[in-house]
Amino acid sequence: MTVTKLSLAAFVLSASVVGALAQPAPPSPAPAPGPAQAPPPPPRAFAPPAVAFNPSAETRGTVQRFTLTPIGELDGVILSDGTEIHVPPHLTMQLAGAVRIGDMVTVQGYRSPSLSLVVATSITDTNTGQTVVDAGPPPPGSRPPPPPPGMPAPGAQQVSLQGKVQRPLYGPAGDINGALLDDGTTVRLPPPSAWQVASLLNAGQVLAVQGWGLTTAYGRVIDAQSVGPSAGQLTQVAPPAPPGWGAAPPPAPGQAPPR
């Protein structure tokens, strides 16, 4: 009898242990919420090359032509050996008064090790003896703001042309921003778009351009809206002008509308 009771007690104890082990474990407490993770930044549309410029470079040469910004300001010169000299546009009046086409110049500044480009800190015309010095950016508000995207410079007209690229053009950071054509026309594109169509801006490439053309005393510039290898293969590189821009103004009282 004693053995039977002990066996029964052992059986009951074993069943209790098995039942306890069969119960699901209580759920673990949820971890405390941490700080929200910022979404990854969007990929860059373009990546200008990192260009390390060499300081204190002196360059001499003969001025072949000026380069222009989309609104007709001067932003440098091209020497007869093909070197591009960059001068900031706020020095347009000083550069125009000191330097002439065909004159010899001496340039102090920073030379790109990979591009035919010098960012000038000063440029001296040996014929006139005048020197233009870049003393830094102008005071805020001293220059008119640039036109909004798609808005042409005052006096610009819609033009289309096709020509051969003489050389690509660059900004002061080594970013490609246009091309110089064989006929002397400066073609300007915004840097992101210029990188996307950089193969069209190589020397010798035929380039078709549609955009806002401006002719000045120092040359012609086109603010490109579309470019391509031919007039039938154009790629848009800048926003169009706002709707209604360029429409004929209403006639004056008493005058017939234009036909």
Question: Taking the chain (259 residues) in consecutive chunks of 10 residues, what is each chunk's mean pLDDT?
Answer: 43 44 50 49 40 74 96 96 96 96 96 92 94 91 76 89 96 94 94 90 96 95 95 88 52 42
**pLDDT for position 225:** 93
**pLDDT for position 27:** 53
**pLDDT for position 141:** 80
- With CA atoms as reference, report the closest residue to 180 among 189, 190, 193: 189
**pLDDT for position 2:** 44
**pLDDT for position 253:** 41
Question: Which residues lie closer than 8 Å to 18 by C-beta, 6 or more apart?
Answer: none
Distance separating the N- and C-terminal Cα atoms of the chain:
127
**pLDDT for position 28:** 53
Residue 86 contacts residue 69 (beta carbons within 8 Å): no
The sign of the dihedral angle between the CA atoms of 107, 109, 68, 236 is positive
**pTM for the full predicted model:** 0.72
Residue 99 contacts residue 126 (beta carbons within 8 Å): no
21 DSSP assignment:
H
Q: Give 118-127's long-range contacts (Cβ < 8 A, gap of 24+).
A: 118/57, 118/59, 118/83, 118/84, 118/85, 118/86, 119/53, 119/86, 119/172, 120/76, 120/85, 120/86, 120/87, 123/77, 123/85, 123/87, 123/95, 123/98, 123/99, 125/98, 125/99, 125/100, 127/100, 127/103
**pLDDT for position 148:** 74
